Amino acid sequence: MVTVQVYSRHGCHLCEAAIRTLEVLQEELVFDIDEIFIDTNQELEDKYGEQVPVILINGVSHDFFKVDPERFKKVFTTL
């Protein structure tokens, strides 16, 4: 099973949009979404800071700020 991790912040409109895009993509592709909030974790805050949302596919960095559906789908052809 493919896991998509989204490093996010509470109240982040870009993060919410990325999650919505991923949920639409789940109708076509099979993967789990694991949203991880960085707000209370200083290590994650230092690592991802202002780049959220940061999207990883199976632990590999894929995108930040937004999800490009076509680019995202292309990754699945290589998995």
Higher pLDDT, residue 14 or 79: 14
- pLDDT for residue 46: 94
Average pLDDT over residues 47-65: 94
Kindly give the pairing relationship between strand 60-64 and strand 31-37.
unpaired
Q: Could you give the CA distance from residue 27 to residue 59 in angstroms, rounded to a whole number?
A: 22
Res 76 pLDDT > 90: no
pTM here? Answer: 0.92
Per CATH, domain 2-55 is 3.40.630.30:
no
Evaluate whether 64 touches 53 at the Cβ level (below 8 Å). yes
Give pLDDT, residue 14. 96
Determine the Cα–Cα distance for residues 62 and 54; give it in Å rounded to an integer.
8
